[in-house]
Structure 1
Amino acid sequence: MCTSIARLRYLSFLAAALIVALAGGIFSVSAQTVQLRLVSTSWSPFTNGPGQPRFALDLVEEGLKRIRVSSTTSIVEPAQFTQALLSDRFDGSAAVWRDAEREKVLLFSQPYLENRLVLVGRKGADVSATGMSALKGRRIAIVEGYAYGDIDNAGPTFVRLRNDEASLTELLRAGVDYALIDELVVEYIVSNYSKESQTRLEIGKTPLVIRQLFFAVRRTRPDAEAIIKSFNAQLRGMIVDRTYHRLLHVGWIRADIDGDGVPEYIPASDKAGPTAPQHVYSLFSSEPPASQPASKTIEISPRFYLGGSIYTDWATVPDPFKVHDSQSPDPNRSTATLFKFVW
């Protein structure tokens, strides 16, 4: 009965979402292909040039493609980013944080991704810190070019390195006490280097830095509002059709797909495997509640989305979904070409 109610609620949501998508699609169908000049910094693995890890840019470009908007992203130095973003040389950015100064110039999309940085230490290290002040005097590796906010006077000494691979290498050689690494990258490390991560690393549970990512377009563009609305209308569909899984290289995603404020677990395939997932990547830590860390928001009885229906727990998921997908490669397998961690 619960599953039937969940299915009816989800079908109602789909109907409403279709109306919204069609309304947003008026922009894309009636107009010729629009081109945007965007700007970003090099910030692996979220923004980069072609051929490198660029998860955020890939997600935005896919969403824009669905509404017949093309984009090119110029990569600038971090010190030049804000000036370039707010100038009329560019139409906006595919991956940007939101603040009052930028809101005067830019229209922002709904958040489509979240950066959550967790503390990683060598085996046996204390990674229980919930704030930077608890790490006073420690040396912490961070990726250069990342706008961490006002943390330089927070207590630790920050060692800026070119990417997460370099941060982990420096940590393992004891050049730093800790590394601050995005939770998505940590998920890859745990999935692809299970033995190494268990025997050589301690991984914190509470994100020390949380920032939502947005797509933004200059307000002075006459089509800015139409672009943003049409882009927003694509996001849930990109989760349901597993585009997010494919571009983020994750097997399971936790997100609210029916708009009721309660997140569901969505696998990369309707052949989800015989057992409930042990690792699920949460798109947002604030679903629900907003103040609760991402590592503590997994429900006792999570809901599952498979075959177009929402199931209230794993026991109610039909057996045909509880098989391995022999046709689909492990989504984590391709990360070997994206990250080259040396142990």
Structure 2
Amino acid sequence: MLKSILKLAAAGAVLAVAAGNAMAAGELHIYNWGDYTNPKLIEKFEKQFDVKITLDSYDSNETMLSKVRAGNSGYDIVVPSDYTVKIMADDGLLEKTEPNTMPNFKNMRPEFVDVYWDSGRHYSVPWQYGMTNFVVNTDKYKGDIDTLGILFNPPDELKGQINVLDDMNSLTHAAERYVGVPRCGADKENLKKVSDALNAAKANWKTFSYDTITKVTSGDVSVSQTWNGAAYRMRQKMPSVKFAFPKEGIEGWMDNVSVLKGAANMDNAKAFQNFVMDPENAALISEFAGYDNGITDGLKALPKEFADAPELHLPAGAPTPEFVPPCDPAVIEIYNKIWTKLKG
């Protein structure tokens, strides 16, 4: 009889976790991008689940991945971008938490279920998604900004006033779009064109930095490669800032909540994945950082000014954002050489 009771209790606990309603007090350690997590979201989860959250930040997928690969990171949850989810899942670094069985999975927008980085959603749920282009202070330049020529062959008034992301993949892919060659291609002549374009443009760049909002709103630069949510936040401080939609192509991305393999606080981590698929909680995420999310009605509770912001919506005629899968190791090796030369 006791054995049967214990079995029933265990089954009930499993069901509670699967439903995202595990109320076990404890901890949850999250490793997320900097300036990207709404304190109100953390407070709400802590109160609802009686869980203390520790939040640390990183500035790139590569920084996060390096720390995780080193082992014993102490984190339960990470928030990798699309291509990094694919890399981490393939390398056995993520727990197969099966978000597609969680109650709030019904809220995920259908177009974000069968994605290249996690088809069917076995490892990850959306955090936010957006585009990587660039902004221009239109008080400093009145011409056409919807071209990657602004970064790679800028007009005289913008030379020396440009910040680019300190991000090998985003910058290299932008150069590939500019010179008209495929992403992740191994053709040596094409890669030379990319390298030449990057090194020629470097003379016109002022800085390599992820701190794009500060760079632009302080007046340090007039142009910065950046993300559409950051562009929205810049415009609130500086109305002359405009986000570009370059005709040569646009980088799309999605950051995703994933659980590290063998996470110490597994039940709480799964509960958090289910939690962020609730439209009200997804809205809190977007409210803070200024990006759209992959949840149905995830913007419904937010002001119309944000939901209709031009940075969040493609204008007529703009290219469809491109989500780029991980490049082959041989291509990454060449990228690394190009990047080392560029930063040297």
How far apart, CA to CA, are the structure 2 residues paired with 1:239 and 1:214? Answer: 17
1:262-306 C-alpha deviation (Å, 9 max, x unpaired): xx862436xx79xx9753774x98xxxxx8349xxxxxxxxxxxx
1:214: how far off?
Answer: 1.8
1:64: how far off?
Answer: 4.8
Residue equivalent to 1:237: 278
- Between Structure 1 and Structure 2, which shows a larger proportion of helix residues? 2
Which of structures 1 and 2 has the larger relative contact order (alpha carbons within 8 angstroms, sep 6+)? 2
Residue equivalent to 2:225: 180
Residue equivalent to 1:96: 80
TM-score by length of 1: 0.51
Residue equivalent to 2:296: 257
Residue equivalent to 1:112: 127
Q: CA separation of 1:75/1:234 partners in 2, compared to 1, >3 Å: closer, same or farther? A: closer
For the 8 Å contact 1:117–1:210, the answer to whether it is kept is yes
Residue equivalent to 1:166: 215
State the one-letter code of the partner of 1:171.
V
Residue equivalent to 1:71: 53
How far apart, CA to CA, are the structure 1 residues paired with 2:243 and 2:286? Answer: 23
**1:119-138 alignment runs, 5 A limit:** 119-121=134-136, 122-129=140-147, 135-138=151-154
1:103-133 C-alpha deviation (Å, 9 max, x unpaired): 221234312112422222342243222xx68
For the 8 Å contact 2:135–2:243, the answer to whether it is kept is yes
Residue equivalent to 2:320: 292
**1:52-67 alignment runs, 5 A limit:** 54-56=35-37, 58=39, 61=42, 64-65=45-46, 66-67=48-49
How far apart, CA to CA, are the structure 2 residues paired with 1:77 and 1:59? Answer: 22
User: SS of 1:221's equivalent?
Assistant: coil
**1:3-82 alignment runs, 5 A limit:** 23-26=18-21, 28-29=22-23, 31-36=24-29, 38-39=30-31, 46-47=33-34, 54-56=35-37, 58=39, 61=42, 64-65=45-46, 66-75=48-57, 80-82=63-65
Q: CA separation of 1:229/1:146 partners in 2, compared to 1, >3 Å: closer, same or farther? A: farther
Structure 1: segments with no counterpart, 5+ residues? 1-19, 41-45, 48-53, 173-177, 259-263, 286-290, 295-343
**1:271-310 alignment runs, 5 A limit:** 278-279=308-309, 282=312, 292-293=320-321
Structure 2: segments with no counterpart, 5+ residues? 1-14, 96-122, 176-194, 323-344
State the one-letter code of the partner of 1:87.
A
For the 8 Å contact 1:111–1:213, the answer to whether it is kept is yes
1:183: how far off?
Answer: 1.0
For the 8 Å contact 1:125–1:202, the answer to whether it is kept is no
1:255: how far off?
Answer: 6.0
Please tell me whether residue 266 in structure 1 is matched to residue 300 in structure 2.
yes
For the 8 Å contact 2:38–2:289, the answer to whether it is kept is no
For the 8 Å contact 1:254–1:266, the answer to whether it is kept is no
Residue equivalent to 2:244: 204
How far apart, CA to CA, are the structure 1 residues paired with 2:52 and 2:165? Answer: 29
Q: CA separation of 1:141/1:93 partners in 2, compared to 1, >3 Å: closer, same or farther? A: farther
State the one-letter code of the partner of 1:187.
Y
User: SS of 2:256's equivalent?
Assistant: strand
1:77-126 C-alpha deviation (Å, 9 max, x unpaired): 86754321223322255432234432221234312112422222342243
How far apart, CA to CA, are the structure 1 residues paired with 2:150 and 2:290? Answer: 33
For the 8 Å contact 1:123–1:202, the answer to whether it is kept is no
Q: CA separation of 1:160/1:60 partners in 2, compared to 1, >3 Å: closer, same or farther? A: farther
State the one-letter code of the partner of 1:128.
D
Q: CA separation of 1:77/1:113 partners in 2, compared to 1, >3 Å: closer, same or farther? A: closer
**1:213-232 alignment runs, 5 A limit:** 213-221=255-263, 224=266, 226-232=267-273
TM-score by length of 2: 0.51
State the one-letter code of the partner of 1:24.
A
